[in-house]
Structures are given as structure tokens and as C-alpha cells.
Structure 1
Amino acid sequence: MLYAAFCLTITLSLYGLYVLREERSSRLKRRLTLAHIGGVTEEKEQAPAGEGRAEASLLGRLLLPKWRELRRSFSRRLQEPKEASIELKLLQAGRPFNMTPVDYRLLQLVLLVVLPGAAGLYGYVLQLSIAGSVLMGFAGLVLALVLPGYYLRLKAKSRCKFALRELPDVLDLLTVSLEAGLGFDAALSKLIAKKDGVLAGEFRRCLEEIRLGRTRRESLAGVRDRLPLDELRVLISSILQAEKLGIGMVTVLRVQSQEVRERRKQRAEEEAMKAPIKMLFPLVLFIFPSLFIVLLGPAVIQFIETFSK
């Protein structure tokens, strides 16, 4: 019963943090939407009465300034190269939970404190020896060090997988738009309007950066950095080279579309060739022993009965 209560407490605490962050994000999006349509005053009138009281509560007045001061002081101590590296990793992972580099570093520090303590407490609950509790705490420390980076790598790999799946259709839509007489920026706008997904989101950001004054080369290089895919890297390099040398963009995109589809076909054939090798291990470990028991079991039983007489 104690173990179940401990696991339930940890689960509910993590779920509460997730719900709190999602509620804050949805509230911010709702206010930005109302401000965009000119309804800021209306939002203030329609805000629940309990929200103002909750924010003006004693706990909020005491803890919120301390939290902001902690974030500011931690942000000042965070070195710029380290912050840029964390920012790039977060962008490659799709910025999960809208985390900033400061939030990510604070999360790492919290995990370094919470996970070893929770693991040591769990070892104490299991009535392990002191060495066992210390070993559990060390395992929690290793998990706290590995878990954030592993999560970001997993999210980045998932985004790259989705982007690679979307790439041929995106190239086809860009090619058709350019053949219809649109410029490259207008073709990107058409792509953003017609499609959703990882690549569409990255090209939306690229187009916004171009409108804010960055050059097309810098904006496309940012897309290449945020999505570390070989196919996308070759595509963006070809687009930039075609723009520099004055080559027709339609021809470049058509050639890249054919190459991407050919590579996808080769990857499918490679996975098909790997399938028999992957099936061999469960076949040997699970199917063959059961088959031998069914086939040879009666003969072994009869053999034993014969010799026992």
C-alpha cells in the first residue's frame, strides 16, 4: 500500500505540473488572440473573478517575485555559448513545453535534486541497506543527468522522421507553385496555407524571418540548422546555389523531388532486406522452443516411460 501511495504521489505531482503549464500556455494564447483582434479590454472584463484573486493571493505575492528573481539571476549566470547551444537543441526538438534555455537548465537542476532524493527514499521504503539506498540514489542521479538530453534527442529524431516523410509532398507543392509563376516567397506562403506539419512550420518561421528583414540565405540556413536532415541540407544548399548562380528554381526542385523519392524507395528496400534478420531473433527465442516442445515432447515422455519400466 505504501509503494502504491508513493508512485501515485509522484505521478500526480508530474501531472499537476504538466496541467499547470498547459493552462498557462492556453491562457497566454487566448489573450494574444484577443489582443490581435482588438479585444484586450473585453478580455479584461470577461476574465473570471477568481483569477484575479488567485494571482493576488498571499502565496502568489510571495513566491512569484522570488521565482522571477531566480530566473533573472540564473539567466545572467548562464554563459552565452552554452545558452546558444541549448537554444539550438530546443529548436531541433520543437521547443517542447515552450521551454527557454533558462527553463531547461532549471529543470536539469530540479531533476538533479529530486530524482536522487526520490530514488533514495524509495530504497529506504523498500528497507534496503545503506549501500542499496546509496546505489538507488546514484541511479537516480545518473537518470537525472541523462534524461533531459535523451528526451530532446528523441523529440528531434521524431521531428526529423516526420519532416522526411513530408518532404516529397512539400517539394511537389513548391514545384507546382513555381511553375504557375509565383516567386519563391509566394510559393512558401502557398505551402504554409495548404499544408500543416513540421516542414510547414519551419518554412513559416523562415518566411516570417524574411519579412522581418533577414536575408533568404540566413533564414534557409536556420531551417537547415533546426532540422538536421541530409536530404533537407542538400535541398537548401541547392536552392541557395541556384539563387546565387541564376539557375531556374523549378528545375532544381524537380530534380531534388526525384532524388528524394528515389532515396525513400531505397530506404524502404533496405528496411525490407533487414526484416528477415530482425525476425530471426524472436523466431529462435520464442517460436522454435515451443515448436520443439510440441514435436519432441511426446517422444521424450514415451522414451522416459519406456526406460523407467
Structure 2
Amino acid sequence: MIELAAQNSTFRILVLLVIFAFVAAIALLALAAANRRVALRTQLTKLEAMDTIAITHGESLRSRETATAWAKMAEFVEKAGLNLTDTKSERLTHLLRSAGYTSPSAPRVYTMIRLALIFVLPLGYVLLAFSSPEPPSFLKVYIVGSILALIGLYLPNLYVRAKADRRREEIINGFPDCLDLLLVCVESGLGLEAAMDRVGREMVTSHPLVAQLLSITTLQLRAGSSRDEAFRKMAETSGVDEIRSFCTLIIQSDKLGTSIATTLRVYAAEMRERRQMRAEEKAHRLPVLISIPLVACMLPTMIGTLMLPAAILMIRKIFPLMVGG
């Protein structure tokens, strides 16, 4: 085995990786054993102050059941000694909520995935590179590994931002229809809470994101929250300017005592006009977008088709006359 390790570089790399994994596992076990007593003491303290914590932080059985495998993994990593708290936690929490990740452990899971990708992608490339018959040079491994580490650092951010944009676009496109139904329900005699509940149940299939926002707000109103608090939470959760404006209008109408139906009628007309303007904007952008494939694909073909007969005529008749044939 020693002779094989001396002759084969790939075998040496694998042996070093196994040794590294073994040492890392021993270190993690040692840290876990060292922190076990502290964790037990913390649990005893939490059990002694359970009543105070439940009253202060509003802890419930549902919040305990929502802990996923990712949250447990992030908690295990933090117990091992690695802090996953981001320095810009408020901005990160707002971005994750805009993308639909409303769990309290979402920022820690996000940071853990970014850290994992920084090491997993370069390590995977190193394993694939040194398993080939001709291993690459150290400079190539260093450059490609650095690029993959940067990709692993920024890839989760790009994914979350893209998902937030798609979610925002779906909410913007579906909110005018829900607002029209809400106006119909209010004008037919239903209260605002009953109308939101009805529209939320009707629009589950066509616009599930808007239906989810309306249903959550209805549940908060039924649980005893004021309209001001419930609609402010709705605006914060959605992350869409149109819904923020809607929530502001509802809050002002409630405080000033104006008619909810009149407010909804005016805002629904404005939302329909905005949707029509967005459709017209996309329609006006189509000629510019179509010109790119037109110039790149169709124009060379048209030029070739028009010039080919003239080129054949020149080759057959004009060029022989020019050379004296």
C-alpha cells in the first residue's frame, strides 16, 4: 500500500481526504461532548422558566412542530461552535420573506447552505479532476476551485432573489382579480373579514399566493388582532407595493370612517388600469425583442437568397469575360 501511495497521486489525495474527514469527525465529536453539559444546563434553565418564556415570546406547539430537518441541522451546526447569524439579518430576513421563506430559522439555514457550497463545489471538482488519468496542474485547480467557491457563495443569493421576483410577479398579476371579487363581496353586503375569507377560499387554485395572504390575514383578525396590525403584517409579508398601498388605504378608511366599498372601487379601477399599462408596456417591447432574432437569423438568409442568383450569373458569364474566356 505504501508503494502504491508513493506511485499514484490520486491514491495519495484520497488517503489525505480520508484522514482529513477522520480528524474532522473526531474534532466534531469532541466539541459535541464538550458542549453537552452546557446544552443540558441550558435545557434545565429553559424548563425552569417555561412559563415566562411562553408568556413573553408566545411559544406554542405549532411553532415547535414547524422545525424542519434543515432547521435541526442548522441548530446542530451552531451547537458545534459555528455561528450562523448574518451581520445584515434584517435585510436577509426581508429578502427571504419576499421569496416565501417565513420560518424563523430561514436566515440560519440560508447561511449554512452558502458556507456548505463554498467547500462542496471545489471539493467535488478536486475529486473529479484527480480521478482522471491526467490530473490538472495546481494553478488550474486553484483557479477553478476559487471560481467554484465564488459561485457557491453567490448562487443561493441569486436563487432567492429570482424566486422573490417570481413570487412578486405572481402576486401582482393575481391581486387585481382578487380585488374585483373582494369589491363584489363587499358591495353584496358581506363584511371585510367575511369577504376576505370568501375570496381567499375561491382563489386558491387560480392565485394561491394572494389567497394565502388573504387567508392568513383573516385568521389573524379572527384571533383578535386589530385591522391595523393584521394589514400591516400582510403588507410586510407580501413585499409588493400594490398590496402595501391597499393595506394603507384599508387602515386609513377604518380610522377615518369612510366607506370600504368606495375605497375598494377606486383602488380596483386603478389596479385594472395599472395592469393594462403593464400589458401595453410588454406589447411595445415586443418589436425590439423580435428584432434581435430577426437580424441574427432571418436577415443573413434573406441576403443570401437575394444575392445568390446574381453571384451565379457573375461566376458563369461575367468572370469568364473578364479573364478572356
The one-letter amino acid of 2:319's match is F
The one-letter amino acid of 2:256's match is L
Deviates more, 1:258-267 or 1:122-131: 122-131
Give the equivalent residue in structure 2 for 1:159.
167
Distance 1:68 1:158, change over 3 A: closer
- State the 1:148 CA deviation: 0.7
Give the equivalent residue in structure 2 for 1:115.
121
Q: 2:188 aligns with which of 175, 180, 188?
A: 180
Distance 1:135 1:301, change over 3 A: farther
Give the equivalent residue in structure 1 for 2:17.
none
SS at match of 1:146: helix
Determine if contact 2:200/2:215 at 8 Å carries over to the other structure: yes
Deviates more, 1:292-301 or 1:149-158: 292-301
Give the equivalent residue in structure 2 for 1:48.
none
Distance 1:228 1:182, change over 3 A: same
SS at match of 2:165: helix
- Measure the CA separation in 1 of the matches of 2:216 and 2:319: 80
- Measure the CA separation in 2 of the matches of 1:244 and 1:97: 32
- State the 1:275 CA deviation: 0.9
Q: 1:248 aligns with which of 259, 284, 289?
A: 259
The one-letter amino acid of 1:93's match is A
The one-letter amino acid of 1:219's match is A
Give the equivalent residue in structure 2 for 1:269.
280
- Measure the CA separation in 1 of the matches of 2:277 and 2:94: 31
Determine if contact 1:94/1:159 at 8 Å carries over to the other structure: yes
Give the equivalent residue in structure 1 for 2:319.
307
1:232 aligned onto 2:237: no
- State the 1:303 CA deviation: 2.2
The one-letter amino acid of 1:109's match is L
Distance 1:68 1:280, change over 3 A: closer
Determine if contact 2:117/2:152 at 8 Å carries over to the other structure: yes
- State the 1:78 CA deviation: 4.3
Determine if contact 2:115/2:153 at 8 Å carries over to the other structure: no
Gaps of 5+ in 2: 1-61, 63-69
Distance 1:69 1:101, change over 3 A: closer
- Measure the CA separation in 2 of the matches of 1:79 and 1:104: 10
Determine if contact 1:71/1:102 at 8 Å carries over to the other structure: no
- State the 1:256 CA deviation: 0.8
Structure possessing the higher radius of gyration over alpha carbons: 2
Distance 1:128 1:295, change over 3 A: farther
The one-letter amino acid of 2:255's match is K
Give the equivalent residue in structure 2 for 1:88.
94
Determine if contact 2:179/2:268 at 8 Å carries over to the other structure: yes
- Measure the CA separation in 2 of the matches of 1:285 and 1:218: 55
- State the 1:277 CA deviation: 1.0
Give the equivalent residue in structure 2 for 1:33.
none
RMSD in angstroms over aligned alpha carbons? 3.1
1:140 aligned onto 2:148: yes
Determine if contact 2:250/2:260 at 8 Å carries over to the other structure: yes
Determine if contact 1:168/1:260 at 8 Å carries over to the other structure: yes
Gaps of 5+ in 1: 1-35, 37-63
Give the alignment of 1:99-110 within 5 angstroms. Answer: 100-110=106-116
Distance 1:163 1:272, change over 3 A: same
Distance 1:298 1:136, change over 3 A: farther
Q: 2:219 aligns with which of 193, 208, 221?
A: 208
The one-letter amino acid of 2:236's match is D
1:73-105 superposed Cα distances (whole Å, 9 cap, x missing partner) = 379944487444433322211229997222222
Paired residues in the alignment total 247
Greater helix content? 1
Distance 1:221 1:67, change over 3 A: closer
Determine if contact 2:84/2:112 at 8 Å carries over to the other structure: no
1:217 aligned onto 2:228: yes
The one-letter amino acid of 1:257's match is A
Determine if contact 1:90/1:99 at 8 Å carries over to the other structure: no
The one-letter amino acid of 2:228's match is R
Give the equivalent residue in structure 2 for 1:191.
199
TM-score if structure 1 supplies the norm length? Answer: 0.70
Give the alignment of 1:43-54 within 5 angstroms. Answer: none
- Measure the CA separation in 2 of the matches of 1:269 and 1:68: 46
1:9-59 superposed Cα distances (whole Å, 9 cap, x missing partner) = xxxxxxxxxxxxxxxxxxxxxxxxxxx9xxxxxxxxxxxxxxxxxxxxxxx
- State the 1:271 CA deviation: 1.2
Identity of aligned residues (%): 31
TM-score if structure 2 supplies the norm length? Answer: 0.67
